[in-house]
Amino acid sequence: MLTHLHNLFTETTQRSTSPTERFIAGGLVALLNENEEIKSVFLQDVIQMNISEAVIKAEVLYPEDDCLVDIEIAGFSTLIFIKLNIDTKQDENQLWKYHILLNKLKRKHNDLEVRLINLTKDYVKGLERLSYARNRKLVINRIFWSQVCEMLCKFSSSNALVDSYLQFLNELRLGAMREMTKEDLQSLTLLPDLYEMVHGMMEVIKSEFLETFEASLFNQLKVKKRWIILNKSVIKGKGYSEIGLGIYLRSTPCIRAHIYVSKYQDQYNEIASYAYKYYDQEYVEQTREGLAIKFEQTLIQLVGDKSPKDRLVAITKDLLDEVKVVIRDSPHIKWNLSKF
């Protein structure tokens, strides 16, 4: 499974989905292909089709049509495209690409049965056929993550990989609703106050951030467990870059500032060389997608402080000063910062 995911992330260069969606798609396909019984139950109970000798692949690229299919299921006379979503937002443009490509392939092979499926979070029992706009020609079969989880649960006790995958889906709130505990009920009463507290903290942080950088506020608690302010396109040239400052709600909540650059950014090599030359490994976060120079301070400093706002301002200023040092000490990098 890990080998499959490694190949998926390193060999595919054109992507239409988020890294999280790609990881989930690759994991599901790996589980199905490594266990014929799981594959059979998935096809019959979830997809509701009997497909002999089905070949299931993740991220199948059709370069001539500029279309990257999240999951493809191919049989002798059957072809299914699955568009994967991990939230309630539908990517209608991508669904239309799938639809057009399926029709094109069907015209080439008259006996080919095609189906377009959207695997999504919204739960409505059974399959639901939806028609979108554009002359109502787009018909989608929807299946739901709760159905996938229910199917996989049958195998979790005897398969450690299935159990790990289910835990990951549950962390993303993609599984069926779990049983509520007394602790959950008690936590619910605290949510409004906690939300207001974090919102107030972000307003303080944003005010400090705006003194030097431009900003957009993003609530990414659901997927990335963070509430963050971003100044995007901070480095000249093609490719993504950002400066961010936010609250990260992980096992040890912290405030983090970072400079991030995609590996496809024109000046990626310059940033990477600078980072590894002047900073220890704890300050450099390398991923398959890019690199970040990061600075963090734990929120535990605010516990018991008589002037938490002043303390928060001081922490924020310290973190922003670290970011400014990077910018000032790297004049060879072409920064795109109007306020700096």
Residue 128: predicted pLDDT: 43
Say if pTM beats, i.e. exceeds, 0.75. no
Amino acid identity, position 314:
A
How far is 312 from 204, CA to CA, in rounded Å?
8
Predicted confidence at residue 324, as pLDDT, reads 95
What does the alpha-carbon distance between residue 290 and residue 261 come to, in Å, rounded to a whole number? 6
Q: What does each of the 340 residues of the chain score in pLDDT, given as a tens digit? A: 434 443 444 344 344 456 778 888 889 999 999 899 999 999 999 998 888 789 999 999 998 888 889 999 998 889 999 998 876 555 677 888 898 999 999 998 888 889 999 888 754 443 344 444 444 566 788 888 888 988 888 887 778 888 888 888 877 777 666 667 788 888 888 888 888 888 899 999 999 999 989 888 887 776 678 889 999 999 999 999 999 999 998 778 999 999 999 999 999 999 999 999 999 999 999 987 899 999 999 999 999 888 999 999 999 999 999 999 999 999 999 999 987 6
Q: How high is the pLDDT of residue 2?
A: 38
The answer to whether 233 and 293 have CB atoms below 8 angstroms apart is: no
pLDDT score, position 223:
63
CA 237, distance to chain mean position in Å, is 25
* Distance in angstroms (rounded) separating the CA atoms of residues 121 and 119: 7
pLDDT at 144: 87
> In the prediction, which pLDDT does 129 show?
42
Residue 340 and residue 328: Cα distance in Å, rounded?
Answer: 10
Q: What does the block give as tokens for 326?
A: 């990077």
Report the C-alpha gap between 68 and 244 in whole angstroms. 30
Task: Quote the DSSP letter at residue 42.
Answer: I
| Contact between residue 90 and residue 53 where contact means Cβ atoms under 8 Å apart | no
3-state secondary structure 276-328: HHHCCHHHEEECCCEEEEEEEEEHHHHCCCCCHHHHHHHHHHHHHHHHHHHHH
